[in-house]
Structure 1
């Protein structure tokens, strides 16, 4: 009888150790999943709060200055997030080409690019001037939000 009790005790202790190990692994996995969901939620709320609109007039002759070979467009923050008004946070493509010589400046004396504020983007194309009397496509990407602007030189 004592041997049956001892074997039952050993099996009981072993099953408790296995159950505790499984519970620990499950708790750790749930904690990791919860942290990942929280991080994703923060990133998603940033993306949702980011919205910009290109407000330049595509029919205007002031979009491209053929003399200085500079494309100038105005972009308005229509989202709820305050965005950094720096050239390293705004990606610009002109006719599919990624532009690196882009200057960003706030318009109207604004101190930051808050909602309803406007920035001026000036893209220097002196290394690859735009052809005249042709249609061109400009794409602006800010914090994942993409806007496309088509104009004619």
Structure 2
């Protein structure tokens, strides 16, 4: 009987120990789950409080700098909390690009606070056409679609009075060989931009003047002006469509 009682006591003790271990495990798992839920809740609240807005003007022509192969994006923090500038993700046409620099424009505070604007600059080489930028941080995102368009001089080579070495950047012409009609300078846009106002200017009106000084691109996005030559020398002729400019150097010789 004593042996039976001892066995029963040992079994009872083992059962109690197992139950306590199980209860401890359940309590630990419950605690970890509760902490996980709290952390997830905090993340969800932070995400809900985060809101950003890209404020670039898509038609202004200032988003992309073709000369420097650089994209500049302005993002405003319109949410209810501060954000970390370095935690911003940038996609250009679906490809992840690491910004060269992130800078909060308001004051000297590096923290991206509510209503502050963050300037992102990133390396990019874009062809003319439509492009898309996505900026994301802390679960919030915004998208910008803009058109990279250019205006440029066409080469005047082959026109009356021009030399064979003329291209779209420089051209040497003979004052004596140019007829009374002057030198026609043609410009184009890419993609084609019809009905765009174009202004023309000569940097040295003693050497040459443009006529007309203003024009409008046709259905193919092209226009032209006439350069009237007056004496030998050099002048730079500039076209300006508001969102882009281009120059051509004209050298007038005897």
TM-score bin (small chain): 0.7 to 0.9
For residue 142 of structure 2, the aligned residue among 135, 141, 147 is 147
C-alpha distance in structure 2 between counterparts of 1:13 and 1:3, whole Å: 15
C-alpha distance in structure 2 between counterparts of 1:94 and 1:131, whole Å: 13
| Larger-Rg structure | 2
Tell me the number of residue pairs that the alignment of Structure 1 and Structure 2 aligns: 147
Q: Deviations over 1:39-82 (max 9, x none)?
A: 22232232222211111111221111222222222100011221
* Residue matched to 1:107: 105
**Unaligned runs of at least 5 residues, structure 1:** none
Whether the aligned pair in 2 keeps the contact of 1:93 and 1:99 (CA below 8 Å) is yes
C-alpha distance in structure 2 between counterparts of 1:85 and 1:113, whole Å: 6
C-alpha distance in structure 2 between counterparts of 1:101 and 1:7, whole Å: 73
The two structures have a TM-score, normalised by structure 1, of: 0.82
* Residue matched to 2:85: 85
Higher relative contact order (CA 8 A, sep 6+): 1
Matches within 5 A, 1:56-135: 56-86=56-86, 89-109=87-107, 111=109, 112-125=111-124, 129-132=125-128, 134-135=129-130
Whether the aligned pair in 2 keeps the contact of 1:110 and 1:117 (CA below 8 Å) is no
C-alpha RMSD of the superposition: 2.0
Q: Secondary structure at the match of 1:138?
A: strand
C-alpha distance in structure 2 between counterparts of 1:122 and 1:6, whole Å: 80
* Residue matched to 2:212: none
C-alpha distance in structure 2 between counterparts of 1:44 and 1:136, whole Å: 31
C-alpha distance in structure 2 between counterparts of 1:80 and 1:17, whole Å: 51
Structure with more helix by fraction: 1
* Residue matched to 2:235: none
Q: How far apart are residue 101 of structure 1 and its match?
A: 4.0
Whether the aligned pair in 1 keeps the contact of 2:90 and 2:99 (CA below 8 Å) is no
C-alpha distance in structure 1 between counterparts of 2:96 and 2:37, whole Å: 33
Q: Secondary structure at the match of 1:75?
A: strand
**Unaligned runs of at least 5 residues, structure 2:** 149-254
The two structures have a TM-score, normalised by structure 2, of: 0.52
Q: How far apart are residue 24 of structure 1 and its match?
A: 1.6
Structure with more strand by fraction: 2
Whether the aligned pair in 1 keeps the contact of 2:69 and 2:126 (CA below 8 Å) is yes
Q: How far apart are residue 114 of structure 1 and its match?
A: 0.5
Q: Deviations over 1:9-43 (max 9, x none)?
A: 33332321222121122112112212222222232
C-alpha distance in structure 1 between counterparts of 2:4 and 2:84, whole Å: 73
Verify: 1:29 aligned to 2:44, yes or no.
no
